[in-house]
Structure 1
Amino acid sequence: MTVATAAIAQTNPIRLYRIPDAMEVLGLRRTVIYELIRSGRLRSVKEGRARLIPASAIADYIALLEREAEVQA
């Protein structure tokens, strides 16, 4: 578990986010979330017909953005 994943787990007990919840957490629109999933930048799982985003995937995506920002700086 990464430091970011641990921080999210401590501050928010939710482990799986529905798309609207992930949109709110990340501050992104629905189409952007689905594009990130399609491109492999944001992991997701399916339970029945529901597409869910693990809290660890959100933390990993944020860490990816931070790494990319460091490289560009």
Structure 2
Amino acid sequence: MGDIALLTVAEAADIMRVSKMTVYNLIHSGHLQTIRIGRSLRVLETSVLSYLGEMAQVDWT
């Protein structure tokens, strides 16, 4: 199994160039996958990249 990159909510927000609250909203709506390690919440980097890829494919017209 390869290395799985885990991001903090702040790191995910920086990559996506959105606020931490937006990342939390995406997590709660099921758009981003997370895991909990102890009391810490981590976002899967693949989930962030996948979401951004999906949004790039959306026809906004």
Picking from 13, 18, 21, the partner of 2:8 is 18
- For residues 49-72 of structure 1, what are the alpha-carbon distances to aligned partners after superposition, in whole Å with 9 as ceiling and x for unaligned? 11101111111111110122xx33
Greater share of helix residues, 1 or 2?
A: 1
Structure 2 residue ranges without an equivalent (≥5): none
Structure 1 equivalent of residue 60 of structure 2 = 72
- For residues 24-59 of structure 1, what are the alpha-carbon distances to aligned partners after superposition, in whole Å with 9 as ceiling and x for unaligned? 111110111000001111111111111101111111
Give TM-score, length-normalised by structure 1: 0.70
How many aligned positions are there?
A: 59
Give TM-score, length-normalised by structure 2: 0.82
Structure 1 equivalent of residue 28 of structure 2 = 38
Aligned CA-pair RMSD: 1.8
Structure 1 pair 21–14 and aligned structure 2 pair: CA distance change class (3 A): farther
Identity %: 20
Structure 2 equivalent of residue 51 of structure 1 = 41
Compute the displacement of 1:14 (Å). Answer: 7.7
Structure 1 residue ranges without an equivalent (≥5): 1-12
